[in-house]
Structure 1
Amino acid sequence: MSVSLTAPSEGLFPVSYLIGNNAPGAPRLQLDLLVYTPDRSVNGHAQITQTTNPPLELGLDAWGTYSYLTVQPPSEGKILLTVRGNHGGPHANSPEQFELRALLDLDWQKGTASYRYYNGQRWIEVDNVPVVLELKRIQTLANVDLTTELHNATLEAVIATGDVAQLKQLASGAVGKALDQALASTKSPATKAAKKA
């Protein structure tokens, strides 16, 4: 018997990632996004810099989606973040100049990414570089507790995988008690009889 749980339907939270390996002369990507959980979309800004001669400084509007990837236990799932960018956003009459695919841990804290950008002459590809969440860059939003929002997104990720044991481990306090009660109610004789009918 599988247990079906419902993910939180509302949520908006900011994330800011530093993407790159910090090698001298290597490109550095700063990705600032707002994550909107109801439709699993992201919108924000990408800033690519490189200390070369001439120096590169490319600022683009960025948008995309995220999805949850599940794998066989005991491995954990991942978040696939897919982002594109240009000057003006998705509806602008401007060619795309940036594409990114990142695999993030379920807590949104770190991962790896591959991306490419157009430097005005040709496409430059950057493969398999680290992604790190930078909390200090995120501006405090009125009435938004980032820790809670990231925790809610992590819960949503675990719900998507269907791993009830991991969900119980993440849920604490009143949420954990409510979850235990909901799971217990699915095992009652009345519920089993209703499912057979």
Structure 2
Amino acid sequence: MSIGLFHTRLNVSNHLLGAPVLTLDLLVDTVKKKVSGVASIYQSTWPPLNFRARVWGEYSEAKLVPTAESHIILSLDGNPSGPTSQIAETFHLKGILGAEWDSGFASYKYQEQGIWHPVKHAAVSQAPVIVIPEQPHHAQPLYAVAVQQAQASGDLAQLKSVVSKGEQQLAHSGALRSALEQLNAEIARLEAR
């Protein structure tokens, strides 16, 4: 188990077709033995369900006597706004997990439209971590103004320099490649004068 703060993402499900699936995105503070995060419950069958709550709670570590294996006893509460709000709790979970937070069993209940819905003895497993690929954040200079200035001044060397820089940075794009080819044709036309 990690020490300090770590993130874990867990699925809690009884693996029945159409049954609700709880996903817990949790930040675990091993120093204070506190947990906080988000609980999302999704059900694809009728009636569709898309429940979400901010959750908080605590955990303790327990050792089973015959095997000396460590387990995590997890207790979570939740509501739509967090622990400091005045909104009543709409989510409760009690679970026992392996020492690595990667498996176990939990029972939970959630309140939807004023009715509590219990889910008993559901299996806990690691949920896939969703990775969103990062887009480059650096600016890509476009040389339209420089090209227009070079064309207007008739400075062929400046125009070639601008087109060369554009080719180096943007040659991989199809639309831009076409624009660069047109600029090269313009350069050739100007050189022919």
Q: For this structure pair, what is the TM-score category when the shorter chain's length is used for normalisation? A: 0.5 to 0.7
Name the structure 1 match of 2:138. none
2:11 to 13, 18, 24: 18
Mapped contact 1:14–1:138 kept (Cα < 8 A): no
**Shift >6 Å, 4+ stretches:** none
The structure with higher relative contact order (CA 8 Å, sep 6+) is: 1
Q: 1:33 is matched with which residue?
A: 26
Measure how far apart 1:126 and its partner are.
0.4
Q: Quote the Cα distance in structure 2 between the aligned partners of 1:24 and 1:135.
A: 19
- Whether contact under 8 Å (2:23, 2:127) holds in the other structure is no
Would the aligned equivalents of 1:112 and 1:128 in 2 still touch at CA under 8 Å?
yes
Extract unaligned runs of 5+ from structure 2: 134-193
In structure 1, how many angstroms separate the alpha carbons of the residues matched to 2:22 and 2:91? Answer: 11
Deviations 1:96-141 (A, max 9, x none): 000001100112110001000111131111000100012523789x
Q: Deviations for 1:13-68, whole angstroms, at most 9, x for unmatched residues?
A: 00000110231221110100000111010110000111232311011101111101
Partner of 2:99 in structure 1?
A: 106
Does the 8 A contact of 1:115 with 1:127 survive in 2?
Answer: yes
TM-score, scaled relative to structure 2: 0.64
* CA displacement 1:55-83 (0-9 Å, x = unmatched): 11011101111101122132413100111
So what's the TM-score if we normalise by structure 1? 0.62
Partner of residue 74 from structure 1, selected from 63, 67, 81: 67
- Secondary structure of residue in 1 paired with 2:77: strand
Q: Does 2:116 correspond to 1:87?
A: no
1:62 to 2:55 alignment = yes
Task: Output the CA distance in 2 between the equivalents of 1:72 and 1:137.
Answer: 37
CA distance in 2, matches of 1:114, 1:9: 25
Deviation at 1:95, TM superposition (A): 0.7
Unaligned runs of 5+ in 1: 1-7, 141-197
- Distance in 2, matches of 1:100 and 1:114, equals 6
For the aligned residues, what is the CA RMSD?
2.2
Counterpart amino acid of residue 85 in structure 1: G
Larger Rg: 2
Instruction: Give the Cα–Cα distance (whole angstroms) in 2 for the partners of residues 98 and 118 of structure 1.
Output: 6
